[in-house]
Structure 1
Amino acid sequence: MKTSTTSLRLAAAAALISSLAACGGYSGVDLGGTVSGLTTNGLVLANGGSTVSVPANATSYKFPNQIGNQSAYSVTIQSQPARLTCGLVNASGTSSGVPVDYVNVTCTANTYTLGGSVNGLTGSGLVLANGTDTVSVAAGSTSFVFPTAVADGTSYGVAVLTQPAGQTCSVTNGTAVMGAGNVTNVVVNCL
C-alpha cells in the first residue's frame, strides 16, 4: 500500500511540475522583439545586466538570457548605431509566462540642415535646388537653408534653379555627402 501511495504522490508532483513549466512558472521566458530601419552596426540593447548587440539589417533580436516568469523588465538602448537614432516601443513591463517578443526597435537616419552663405545678391527671384527640394532666396539675403533636412550619408547637390533678375549666380561647395552635422559651407556668389 505504501508503494502505491508513493507512486501516486510522485505522479501528482510530476504533473504539477509539468503544468507549472507549461505556464512559465518554473522556467524563464525569452525577451526580444522586432527591428526596423537598422542599416548600420553599433546598436546595443540592455535589460539590467544583460546586453545584446543587434547587427545591421537585423529584423528581430532576443536577449541571450531569459527572464523569470512574473519578472519586471526594462529594455534600454545602451549604444546607438552609427548614423541612426533608434527608439523602443513597449520597453518595460512584467512577463506573464509567455515569450516577451514585442519590445520593438525602430531606427531612423539622423538628418542635418543644408545651407550656406550668399554674396552680392541684389536682384529678386533666386531659387536654389537640392534635387526636388527648393528654397527661394530674397534680394539682400546673406544666407540660406533648405527646408528639408538631409539624411546622414546621403549625397546632396545644390544648384541654381532660377537666376535672380539682372544677375547671374554660381554655387561652390555645392556637392558632397552629408556628414554628421549641419552643412553651412555652400557658397552662392552673385554678379
Structure 2
Amino acid sequence: MKSSILRAGVVALACALGLSACGGGSGDLYLTGSVYNVTKDGLVLTNNGGNDLAVTTPYTSFQFSDRISTDDQFDIKVKAVPSNVAKVEDCVVNNGRARANYYTIAQISVTCTIRKRALTAAINNLTTSGLVLINGSDKQTVAAGTKTVTMSPVNEDGAYGVTVLTQPTGQTCTVSGGSSGNGSGIMGATETTTVTVTCA
C-alpha cells in the first residue's frame, strides 16, 4: 500500500516538474516565429481563436505570451493586417497549425505581400534619344518625344528616388517633384504622378 502511494506521489511530482509530458498547466513552450515583409504596425495574430498578439517593431519575429505544453494543438491565424496590405489573405501563415513540440514551433513564419503603387514621371521637352531614368534597380530608357514614363511599381510606404542615369544627346535633364521636391519620397496610399523630368 505504501509503495502504491509512493508511486502516485512520484508520478504527480513528475507531472508538476515536466508539464510537457503530462499536459495542462502553463506549459513549457513559447509559440514563436519569423515575420517577413512587414514594415509597420497593424499585423495581429491569434492562436486558437484567442490570445491575440500585435506584432511590433522591428517586425521580424513574434512570440505569444501564453506558453503551451508539448502535444497541445496550436492554430495561428492572421486577424488583422497593416494598412499597406490589401487584405487579411495577403499575410500567409506558414506551418501555423500543428501539435506543439520543439520542432514544430521552430517552423512557424508569417509572410505578407505589401500593396504596390504605380510610379509615373512626366517628361518635358525631350527632343533627343539616350535618356535613361533609374529608380533603385529599375532602369527605363526614354525615347525622344515621350510625355510620360511608368517606372516599376513601388511598395506602399516604400521609398522611391527617380534620377537621371544617362543624359540624352545634346540635352540636360533634371528631376523634380515627389514629396522631397527632387524626384524622391515615400510612396503614399495613392499612385505617385508628381515626379517631373525637364530637359533643356
- Length-normalised TM-score, structure 1: 0.70
Q: Is the 8 A contact 1:34 1:105 kept in 2?
A: yes
- CA deviation after TM superposition for structure 1 residue 139, in Å: 2.4
Letter in 1 for 2:121: G
Find the counterpart in structure 1 of residue 33 from structure 2: 34
Indicate the structure (1 or 2) with the bigger Cα radius of gyration.
1
Checking the alignment, whether the CA contact within 8 Å between 2:32 and 2:64 is kept in structure 1 is no
CA-CA distance at 1:83 after TM superposition: 5.6
> What is residue 50 of structure 1 aligned with on the other side?
51
- Aligned-pair distance for 1:121? 3.2
Shift of 1:94: 1.9
* From 160, 167, 170, the counterpart of 2:164: 160
Unaligned 5+ segments in structure 1 are: none
Cα separation, 1, equivalents of 2:124 and 2:61: 51
> 2:80 aligned with 1:79, yes or no?
yes
Structure 2 counterpart of 1:16: 11
Structure 1 CA distance, aligned partners of 2:4 and 2:32?
41
Q: Which residue of 1 aligns with 2:62?
A: 61
| Equivalent residue, structure 2, for 1:119 | 124
Number of matched pairs: 185
Q: After superposition, give the CA deviation of every residue in 1:110-156 in whole Å (9 maximum; x if it has no partner).
A: 654432222343422111233664321122323213347467343x4
Q: Give % identity.
A: 31
CA distance in 2, matches of 1:124, 1:99: 58
- Alignment equivalent of 2:195, drawn from 172, 176, 186: 186
AA in 2 matched with 1:137 = V
Q: From the superposition, tell whether residues 97 and 151 of structure 1 become closer, same or farther in structure 2 (CA, over 3 Å).
A: closer
Runs of 5+ unmatched residues, structure 2: none
Alpha-carbon deviations, 1:33-62, whole Å to 9, x = none? 233566644332111112122321266533
**TM-aligned CA distance change 1:169 to 1:90, over 3 Å:** same
Alpha-carbon distance between aligned partners in 2 of 1:62 and 1:150, rounded to the nearest angstrom: 27
> Aligned partner of 1:160: which letter?
V
CA RMSD of aligned residues (A): 3.7
